[in-house]
Amino acid sequence: MTPDQVRLFRLDGFTVLPTGVLPDALARMRIDAQRFLDTSGPDDPAATCWRLPSGETYLLKIKSVIRRSPAAQKIAGEVQPQVERLLGTPARLMDDKITYKQRVPWEPPDRVLDEEIRKHTDAAYYHQRGFGDPIITVAVCLDDCTAESGAVRVWPGTHRRDVPHLQTQLQGPVVPDEAAPDDSAMILEAPAGSVLAWDARLVHSSRANRSGHLRRLLILGYAR
């Protein structure tokens, strides 16, 4: 990571490292991601899923995975020095999960939602858990992340202002559209193995995966 990348991260609130994870660690992490899916289900408290309007079950994420995956531990260790450069201080891992964004053949839960993840900030959730800023979210792309597959959308610079949130019954605190207009968003398309990092105060979202391919992210949250 260059000094310019650090400077732009502090200005824009995000960065993309195109060759962040070595192929062998990526391959092992993909195997573990499938293993977690195969051994999970709708009653697993580690899984977040809901019923789509179509009646299918949609899996958003499984957490925590770091204790069950040597590959995740290796990746987290490799990423941490870069995170500490962005934070300017020692960091500790305080959150980890895999986001799947895919339909699964499970018994549908009662909760009904669509596939789009609404505009939000990770900080709104972490503050409720007692973590203070700065916090950095890292997303390791286990698969190619394209606009069609629901790549992360970000609103540059929103981490540097006080963004309002609205509390919702099913999706927690979300950012209203007027605070983050669609025409000011950027889509972070990135190939498998890339590492995305953003300030937890940055507004972001993701649309449905319409690609027909997997779009999994290993998400790591680091605090001071």
pLDDT digits (tens, 9 = 90+) for 133-165: 999 999 999 999 999 999 999 999 999 999 999
54-89 as b/e: b if 16+ CB within 10 A: eeebbbbbbbebbeebebbbbbbeebbebbbbbbee
Q: Which helix (H) or strand (E) holds 74?
A: helix 70-87
Query: Domain map of the chain by residue range?
Result: 3-223
Q: What is the pLDDT of residue 206?
A: 97
Sequence-ordered strand ranges (E) for the chain: 14-17, 47-51, 57-62, 92-104, 117-120, 135-141, 152-154, 166-168, 172-174, 186-187, 195-199, 204-206, 217-223
Give the whole-angstrom CA distance, residue 20 versus residue 208.
Answer: 25
Q: What is the mean pLDDT of each run of 10 residues along the chain (224 residues)?
A: 92 87 92 98 96 97 96 94 94 97 95 96 94 95 97 98 94 95 97 96 97 97 95
Class of the CATH domain delimited by 3-223: mainly beta
Q: What is the pLDDT of residue 19?
A: 65
Q: What is the pLDDT of residue 17?
A: 84
